[in-house]
A and B are shown apart, each in its own frame.
Chain A
């Protein structure tokens, strides 16, 4: 397929096809709605590219198969939805602790517990703060279109290999199941060397060990320090965001993923009505695009975060704004999707307060 030829695909399928084009040949997963299309696509495609699709006995087993395949040097991924990601959290902690690269896709649904199967963004904290135990982060991408689901999945494997870290695509049931035209990336022909992989020493080197256990407290501390030095580089190099009409905006709406699509419509309508509104869209949720958002503090008079949860990213926005402007929140949760009109109403209310 030529680079610019567009095809109509579901977001879940675009992630899968793009991952294969990034050189991913191993997929381990377990069925769960609303990410089903991703695994189904992989089960169809992997045998055609001499890859492996394996339906594991559980999410726990799937992520540990990812751990083994990543240690063996392969580009490997798993996908799930919110409750399944909770089960994977143990394995992700071990993968991070052993400095192994992989891709984890979360097509979020409403929670807590079994929750709903409708779209949600209520795993923001889980993804950026607390997926598994211990001091660690992973890079988290929040695509907002099917095209971005393809592009960021492709990029995710490079970033994972470069920094030897798990990377997450945080989508939701709306993005995963909607169809949009997408231009798919060119298949990778060369992949990075992995001299650290456990592939057998063949008498050519010392043994390689993939491990997260350090009985010496000082040694464990040293590995954590080293990992956080890498995180500093990731924060400097990998933060991504998009700005729409932020330069002269009085009111900046901050939203990611599906809710940013709704916020974009609301901001456009607000401009039509003479309100100087803009949209700031974090594309990486970790690292949070601190610098880019901080640059808007000073001219923006107020911020409004719009999320499909009870208010999670709003805390990161407040950490950046540091009380220099009001940061308000509007959210729907449990699988309810906010409408552009609802968001516009919030923008108008803030505008009125600013005028007082």
Chain B
């Protein structure tokens, strides 16, 4: 009888701890947490990586990952990440944030970390709702979307319009890389992983601020099955938040964000003086 050999095809990433997460069934956080862990493993950076967890459903991330972690106040992860990275520039520092955290209470920290060109990686989960507090309207909730605090649907006449984060940040000179992905299909998950890997690799290479926006679902607070919520996301969110690359200075032919910023300001005498960082 021929000897049987076992080949392990799929296992827990080493940088994820063997613990049960608090994520709901069908939630994209589990998938994205895993993708981040896979990338950390593949780049061999767990020992030098510091994660910054937000306030929101991923608040307990520091219990799921084996790398060092700092738990930030609501919205402040980019500022905390700035402090960490400035002290130890050799560390790989990433912030992981939801839409309320990143695009509402933490918008100032988000924009300024980006425009300073902080050498950090930001993973942004956009599921158009506040999950942890039970389904309130988010800065990314769609027009007419029903939530606990927009029970008649988001009325743009009073509640205003959703924020498109990648488009907003793409005008800033400190930014090296912005991509919007989703994780509803194997093909999209592979693309999301590629983007997350690039966002980390950029930091390893010192290219500049990188953010990956993951358009995600919240079956629990949307009140749908995981399958229906993906269907709703494809139908409603992707037209409003189109997938794709919104900035990639390397693909544009620059060495890094600083070089791209210099080219853009070439006609400004003071900005073109030598000695910039």
Contact = CB atoms under 8 A, between A and B. Distances in A.
Interface stretch (B46-54, B142-150, B198-206, B261-269): B46-54
Contact of B48 (A65, A90, A202): A202
B79 interface: yes
A76 B83 contact: yes
Interface stretch (B66-74, B122-130, B185-193, B234-242): B66-74
A69 B80 CA distance: 7
Interface stretch (B86-94, B153-161, B225-233): B86-94
Contacts of B52: 68
Interface residues of B, number: 34
A117 interface: no
A62 B78 CA distance: 11
Which residue among A68, A70, A200, A201 has the maximum number of chain B CB atoms within 10 Å of its CB? A68
Which residue among B46, B70, B80, B83 has the maximum number of chain A CB atoms within 10 Å of its CB? B83
Nearest to A202: B47
Nearest to A206: B66
A97 to B, nearest CB: 10
Given A56-B112, A65-B80, A207 B87 contact: no
B73 A207 contact: no
Nearest to A200: B48
Interface residues of A, number: 40
Nearest to A203: B47
Contact of B108 (A58, A65, A98, A208): A58
Given A199-B91, A201-B47, A54 B108 contact: no
Given A64-B79, A200-B68, A213-B59, A72 B87 contact: yes
B109 interface: yes
Contacts of B247: none
Contact of B86 (A60, A69, A200, A208): A69
Nearest to B53: A211
Contacts of B59: 213
Closest 7 CB pairs of A and B: A68-B83, A64-B79, A72-B87, A69-B83, A57-B112, A68-B80, A198-B68
27 contacts: A26-B86, A56-B79, A60-B76, A60-B109, A64-B80, A64-B109, A65-B86, A67-B70, A67-B72, A67-B76, A67-B83, A68-B84, A68-B86, A69-B86, A72-B83, A76-B87, A198-B84, A200-B68, A201-B68, A207-B65, A207-B66, A208-B69, A209-B68, A209-B69, A211-B62, A211-B70, A212-B71
